[in-house]
Amino acid sequence: MDAILFFLFATITVICAINMVLQRHPISSALSLIGVMGSLAVLYLLLGGEFIAMAQLIVYSGAIMVLFLFVIMLLNSGAEPKRSRHKILLFLGAPLLVILLGVIGYFIQGQIPAQEMVKFGSWESGPGKPAFGSPQNVGMSLFTSYLLPFEITSVLILIAILGAIVLARKEID
């Protein structure tokens, strides 16, 4: 069952990702990206990341992509025009990307033994002791061992809000 779910959602993810790159219209790309993010959330669940899967849904698909969609709809710039002069680059670049993938894959195969199976539910350790990906456990580490990065992130977000407001305000006056 795990394997079926993995292969199903891995296929959806890859198809959506390729579709995102190939589509000419930004809206189609954005929707494909939402598909990627949704199926990645399912893969996170298969890996025991309960909290992170929900954060993926809420933050990525629920907020960031809505923002993207909003901007695309606001600008309404239409499809990207076809350009023929870059064709040669496509033929030169694609093999390089395949080589990059091959190198990454080689290192992954070399570094990690393939025997370790992902068993769904293997993180359940009985009542009273939360699984490693549960909201309780993630929250506990987030507010104890990772407190300083967490606080710094909040400052980063504050700066980002200010930056966005400054950038967006400039064109009003």
Partner 1 sequence: MDFMILSLIKLGLVLFIFMTALAYIQWIERKVIAHVQLRVGPKRVGPHGLLQPLADVIKLITKEGMVPSHVHPVFYYLAPFVAVFFALIPISFIPFGQANVKIPFTDITTNMELTDLNIGLLLILGLSGMGVYGIALAGWASNNKYSLIGGLRSSAQMISYELPMALALVSPLLMLNTVSLRELVNGQEGFYFNVIPRWTIFLMPAPQIFSFIIFMIAGFAETNRVPFDLPEAENELVAGFHVEYASMKFAAFFMAEYANMVTVCSVATLLFLGGWHPIVVPGIGNWIPALVHIGGGAICLYHGLVQPARKWDNITLPVFGVAFIGAGLLFAIPIVQELLAPVFWFTAKLLILLFVFIWVRATLPRFRYDQLMRFAWLFMFPLALVNLLITGLLVAATTN
Partner 2 sequence: MLPLPPGVPTAVPVTYYLILSAILFVIGGAGFLYRKNIITVFMSIELMLNAVNLSFVAFAYKFNKADGHIYSFFVMVVAAAEAAVGLAIILTVFKNRQTLEIDDIDSMKL
Binders of partner 1 in range 37-66 (CB under 8 A): 38, 41, 50-51, 54, 57-58, 61-63, 66
Sequence-separated (6 or more) residues with CB below 8 Å from residue 155: none
Alpha carbon 76 to chain centroid distance?
Answer: 25
CB of 97 to partner 1, least distance (A): 28
Binders of partner 1 in range 61-100 (CB under 8 A): 61-63, 66-67, 69-70, 73-74, 76
Binders of partner 1 in range 132-151 (CB under 8 A): 134-135
Binders of partner 2 in range 72-131 (CB under 8 A): 72, 74-75, 77, 80-81, 83, 86, 89-90, 93-94, 97-98, 100-101, 104-105, 108-109, 112, 114-120, 123
Of residues 67 and 88, the one with the C-beta less far from partner 1: 67
Coil, strand or helix: which one is 122?
coil
Burial level of 134, CB count in 10 A (0-12/13-18/19+)? middle
Q: Which two tokens stand for residue 134?
A: 């549960």
Burial level of 17, CB count in 10 A (0-12/13-18/19+)? middle
Residues near partner 1, by CB under 8 A? 27, 31, 34, 38, 41, 50-51, 54, 57-58, 61-63, 66-67, 69-70, 73-74, 76, 134-135
